[in-house]
Amino acid sequence: MVYKVLIVGLKEKDAGKTSLALALLAYLREKGFNASGFKPRAGNSVWYDYDVVHEALSQGRLYGKDAKVLKTASDYGSEAGAGAGAGAGVANANLIEEFINPTHRLWAEPALIAPISQIPYFILDRVTLWFEEGVRNLVVVNETLPVEYRCDDKHFRKLRARASSIYHVRDLNTLNKLTEDYYDLAVELAYKKMVEQHDCVVIESYSDIALPWKGLNDLDVVFGVKPGQISVYEPKKYLAAVQLSASTYSQEELTTSKIVELVKPIKEARVPPFRSDEIVQGLKEKIPFLLRV
Q: In whole angstroms, how far apart are CA 230 and each of 14, 137, 146, 291? A: 14, 36, 40, 12
Split at pLDDT 50, 70, 90, the class of 259 is very high
Q: How many CB atoms lie within 10 A of CB 120?
A: 18
Contacts of 257 (CB under 8 A, 6+ apart): 10, 208
Chain segment 99-138, per-residue pLDDT in tens: 999 999 999 988 888 888 889 999 999 999 999 888 999 9
Residue type at position 261: E
Enter the CATH code of domain 1-33+199-293: 3.40.50
The residue-averaged pLDDT of 189-201 equals: 95
Residue 79 banded pLDDT, cuts 50, 70, 90: very low
Q: What pLDDT is stored for residue 253 in this prediction?
A: 80
Per-residue pLDDT tens for 5-29?
Answer: 999 999 988 899 999 999 999 999 9
User: Binning pLDDT at 50, 70 and 90, where does residue 82 land?
Assistant: very low
Q: What is the pTM of this model?
A: 0.91
- Rounded mean pLDDT, 231-254: 86
**Quick count: other Cβ atoms within 10 Å of Cβ 127?**
27
> How far is residue 58's CA from residue 56's CA, in Å, rounded to a whole number?
5
Percent of the chain with pLDDT over 70: 92
Say whether 204 sits in a helix, a strand or coil: strand
- ∠ Cα 175 58 126 (to 5°): 20
Domain boundaries, the chain: 1-33+199-293, 40-198
pLDDT confidence of residue 152: 83
H runs (alpha helix) in the chain = 17-30, 50-57, 65-73, 78-82, 96-100, 157-162, 172-178, 184-197, 235-248, 256-259, 279-284, 287-291
pLDDT of residue 163: 96
Number of residues that make up the chain = 293
Checking if the pLDDT of 191 tops 60, the result is yes
The H or E element containing residue 75 is: none
Ramachandran quadrant class, 134 (left: phi over 0; alpha: psi -120 to 50; beta: rest): left
- For 12, which DSSP code? S
* Per-residue pLDDT tens over the stretch 145-160: 998 888 888 889 999 9
